[in-house]
Every structure is written in structure tokens, then in C-alpha cells.
Amino acid sequence: MSSTLSIIIPTFNEQAFIVETLKALQPLREAGHEVIVVDGNSIDNTRSLAAPLADSVLLTSCGRARQMNIGAQFAHNDILLFLHADTLLPIQADNLIINGLTKTERYWGRFNVRLSGQMPLLRVVERLMNWRSYLTGIATGDQAIFVQRTLYFQIQGFPNIPLMEDIALSRHLKHFGYPLCIKKPVITSSRRWEQRGVIRTVLLMWGLRLAYAVGVNPHFLKKFYN
């Protein structure tokens, strides 16, 4: 299977992380994959820092689902990979994705995740995240979701909601099979857990997902999350 990736990165005021993330992607660009940054009207230096390290830097209004959908519209390659601005892909991520999809005959997938911090409790959190995803077939944005382009557009991409867009996308994709779960992890920033407190953040996220599962409007959940 001869495939190439379009790596789509939504950003909003990510100058602290975007350079490190994009520098790590340069070997993939050299291998023929493309990197698209979709900025949600940042007021810091995100766009100027990203410009020399990406194939395209697009500007739109803020909203992660909208930003990722716009990036997909501009993408040229046959596998779309949605990457957070504070997340690093493992080495040879392209081979892991392309070979994995080919061998398993699956259409989408995600990586295991490892949190960047050193607190022992974070090791528990990341294991729970990976186990939950493996058991449920639901992926989160932290896990670098990837999907074949044709299927992505068949299901009309991410629902344009302000929160839980990754959960909603996963639910749609599950109708076409469970995800390929790549064990080699992405490294994602643990800043959210460290700033708010690990246990507090875990309880918040569980509560939000439960509320979404029983039908609470994502617009209300976004206000609560903020």
C-alpha cells in the first residue's frame, strides 16, 4: 500500500509548543508527507513560528472541530492525521500507521498516549486512558487520531461542536470497525493535569464524558469545562 499522510494541527496561542512539535515532523515532510497548521486566530506568535516548518498555515476562527475540518479540506494525501500542538509523534509514525492499516485492513486508528510529566500518578492516568480506549473503541484527540481520507469525508468529518468532537468522530468511525491501536505512544503535554491537579482533572473529564453520553449539550459542557 503506497500512502502518504496529511498531518493537521489545530492551534490557538501555542507558541510555547508549536516549534518543538513541528521540528519533530520534519523527517516526515522529507519523506513526502505534508503538515498543515490551522490557526484559530492566535494573538501570540504561533503562526509566524509555524510558517517555516509547515507546508501550509491556515487562518480561521477558533474552534478545534472547525479548524480540523478546514485542514482536511486543504489536505492532499490519503490518510489524515489529527495532531494536537503539544503532542509529539513517535519515530517512524508513518510506517506504524500505513503498515498497521494495511495488515489489519482497518480504516482508522490512534496511538497509545504517554503524558510528559514525571509524577507517578500520571502513569496511572495514561494507562487508564489507553485501556479505556482499547476496550471501548473510542479515541481522544490526545491520541493522534488518523483516518483514511475517503472515510473521513464519507462521515462528513468532525461534528462542529465546541467539545467532545473527538468522541463524536470515534462513534461515527466505529460503525466501520474498531480502531487500529498503536502501542508505541505519542508524548503529550501533561500541563492540563499539572495546572488543575491530576485527580481533579480526571474527575472533571469523566464527568464531562458521562454528561455527554447521556445527552447534555456540548455547548453547555464547554462553558462548564472553561
- Please give the full DSSP string across the chain, using - where no structure is assigned: ----EEEEEEESS-TTTHHHHHHHTHHHHHTT-EEEEEE---SSSHHHHHGGGSSEEEE--S-HHHHHHHHHHH--SSEEEE--TTEEPPTTHHHHHHHHHHHHT-SEEEEEEEES---HHHHHHHHHHHHHHHHH----GGG--EEEHHHHHHTTSS-S-SS-HHHHHHHHHHTT-PPEEEEEEEEE--HHHHHH-HHHHHHHHHHHHHHHHTT--HHHHHHHH-
Tell me the pLDDT tens digit for each residue of 107-152: 999 999 999 999 999 999 999 999 999 999 999 999 999 999 999 9
Q: Quickly state the pLDDT bin for 1 (edges 50, 70, 90).
A: very low
Is it the case that residue 213 has pLDDT exceeding 50?
A: yes
Model pLDDT for residues 4-54, shown as the tens digit of each residue: 999 999 999 999 999 999 999 999 999 999 999 999 999 999 999 999 999
pTM above 0.85, yes or no: yes
Domains of the chain with CATH codes: 5-191 (3.90.550.10)
